[in-house]
Amino acid sequence: MLAILKTALRAIRRNILRSFLTMLGIIVGIAAVIVGVSMGTGAKAEVDKQIASMGNNLLIVFSGNMSRGGVRGGFGMQPSLTERDYEALRREVSGVVGVSPEVRTTVHVAAGNQNSSVGVWGVSADFAEIRSWRFQSGENFTEVDVRTANKVCVIGKTTAATLFGEGADPVGQIIRIKNAPFTVVGWLAAKGANAFGQDQDDVILMPYTSAMKRLSGDTKFRAFSLATESAEVMGDVTNQIATLLRQLHQITPDKEDDFSIRSQQEMSDFANANNRIMTILIGAFAGISLVVGGIGIMNIMLVSVTERTREIGTRLAVGARARDVLRQFLTEAVLLSVVGGALGIAAGYWLAPLLTKFAGFPTLISNASVVLAFSVSAVIGIVFGFFPALKAANLDPIDALRYE
């Protein structure tokens, strides 16, 4: 075995440039596998982090039927969720630790001589807990604030920075929304961008009663957010909500629901669908490149078999069996592709961080992808090296010895 490896190394070194050019296809293909998989893994990790940042065991009830207009199309169309629904959810659904309605409006906000256009979310006191918002300072508004529609709010990191300057604690300050003074009671900790790339920290949360009465004039909600006690009860809670809302909205079995219930998992799957397409495209590119690389190896191995026909004849004459010759050339092909694979992996390790740095793609190289890439390159060597090796092994010793 050692001798086989030595001969193989010698054959590769003899034509170092040719060997390298042969490996190039494999190098490119394997590098593409590494980078492509790392982009997929990186993007998925990012999405998972963002989805997790939305809260634990989260269910969202959207108004409107999403199976008709797609997820985004259905977002808040024809609001159908009412205060009565909210009260019923709070009262009758079991296995739930928090419920919040949701209205949204975009308003002009001023503080001192700074002003900004910001999205206001009208929610209940449970909302911060349900969506895992932490407070940098101050605290959440209370149930009492909600009941009396007080002019209080909590503001996100980006909004605070715009209105009061980077890092300044806004708690206790007054901001003016539509000329009404609102007291800032809490400063939200940063969350970063969401799965669709929007800044989640440019936000003002306030009691939904205040938002509806004083700002938007809405009477219905676009959504409810609920947190369940555990992941296990999510299915059961979903059924309870659906039954209850159908009853309240008088939806008979022959009619479509005017609401949709989504779990965190479904939202994460949706966000990952885009990544999957990208991964498939890169995978296809890598696959083509690997096949081309494999054909390159086959080609060069055929040349090598021809060049070394006399050597093969000599080996056969001194007692090599067909399988010894086969093993020799197969080893050479596998060595070529595996060295190419190793170089490709190195190139991938080098390229992935560059991609993150210059194109902003999140990348994550997993050990599994390295093992996969390495195995793939070995398999390519075996598959594409087999035919030339077989050709060598089946040479007639006399013809081979006499070959000019």
Q: Which residues bind another protein (CB under 8 A)?
A: 2-3, 10, 14, 310-311, 313-322, 324, 397-398, 401
Least Cβ distance, residue 340 to another protein (angstroms): 23
Residue 223 and residue 62 in contact, taking contact as beta carbons nearer than 8 Å:
yes
Least Cβ distance, residue 309 to another protein (angstroms): 11
- Closer residue to another protein in complex, CB, 322/371: 322
- If you compute the radius of gyration of the chain from its CA atoms, what whole number of angstroms results? 32
- Closer residue to another protein in complex, CB, 189/398: 398
Taking Cα atoms as reference points, which of 330, 324, 85 lies closest to residue 219? 85
Residue 183 and residue 100 in contact, taking contact as beta carbons nearer than 8 Å:
no
- Closer residue to another protein in complex, CB, 347/401: 401
- Closer residue to another protein in complex, CB, 261/400: 400
- Closer residue to another protein in complex, CB, 357/402: 402
CA distance 368 to 366: 5
Least Cβ distance, residue 40 to another protein (angstroms): 45
Residue 129 and residue 138 in contact, taking contact as beta carbons nearer than 8 Å:
no
CA distance 403 to 313: 9
Query: What does residue 119 show for φ and ψ, rounded to 5 degrees?
Result: -80, 125
Q: 26: helix, coil or strand?
A: helix
Residue 135 and residue 186 in contact, taking contact as beta carbons nearer than 8 Å:
yes
Taking Cα atoms as reference points, which of 297, 311, 335 lies closest to residue 5? 335
Pairing of strands 114-123, 152-155: unpaired
Look up residue 227 and give its two tokens.
Answer: 């947190």
Least Cβ distance, residue 2 to another protein (angstroms): 7
Least Cβ distance, residue 308 to another protein (angstroms): 9
Least Cβ distance, residue 366 to another protein (angstroms): 40
